[in-house]
Homo-oligomer: A and B are copies of this chain.
Amino acid sequence: MELPSTTLAQAVEALASLPGVGKRSALRFALHLLNQPPEEVQELADSISKLTTDIKYCRICHSISDEDLCPICSSPKRNQSIVCVVENIQDVMAIENTQQYRGLYHVLGGVISPIDGIGIRDLNIASLIDRVREGNPSRVEEVILALPTTMEGDTTNFYLNKQLQPLGVKVTTIARGVAIGDNLEYADEITLGRSILHRIPFDKF
């Protein structure tokens, strides 16, 4: 589609770089913005621009935060002896939404993936080891690995476990099994197999 204005074409191209947004949606966004009050459009531009300049990361867990320490790391109500290791900030939000976890987090910023050129040094792994070794902010008794069940996630789990075991910390992973509400017949074999293998006493459920 040929656009009658290079300014519009540039905006469409930039908007089409958003995930799941094609040229048609990007054009719809741009034409919508053209009909909005200029100050609202400027506000959108500014808020996007600020993502590159104003976002800070928590000194301890590497989650995003307005302060030096994120609200979770600085909360006296959280159990500071448990650290849940996740791939990214989305995962922190997903676990927080369950309201089932009261410990702290550690955001790796990815998983080990040689194909994508992501190695151990590209992730927040050294700071996790230091955190457990030095007891920062306080003594860590358990590390929960909550990484994705992909080859990369498993590699990272394996590496972290190897580094953490000598420090005398308990290392656990989140339970995998048939999702609540799902029919057994539609669960994949590996998931169903794991949920039988790791069955739990009925009174603990």
A interface with B by C-beta (< 8 Å): 1-8, 10-11, 13-15, 17-21, 25, 28-34, 36, 38, 40-56, 63-66, 70-72, 88-90, 92-93, 96-97
Contacts and interface: CB of A to CB of B under 8 A. Distances in A.
A-side binding surface: helix, strand, loop or mixed?
helix
Contacts of A13: 47
Given A4-B63, A34-B55, 13 more contacts: A4-B64, A5-B64, A6-B66, A7-B66, A8-B51, A17-B44, A19-B32, A33-B48, A41-B48, A44-B48, A45-B48, A45-B49, A48-B48
Nearest to A93: B1
Contact of A40 (B17, B38, B66, B93): B17
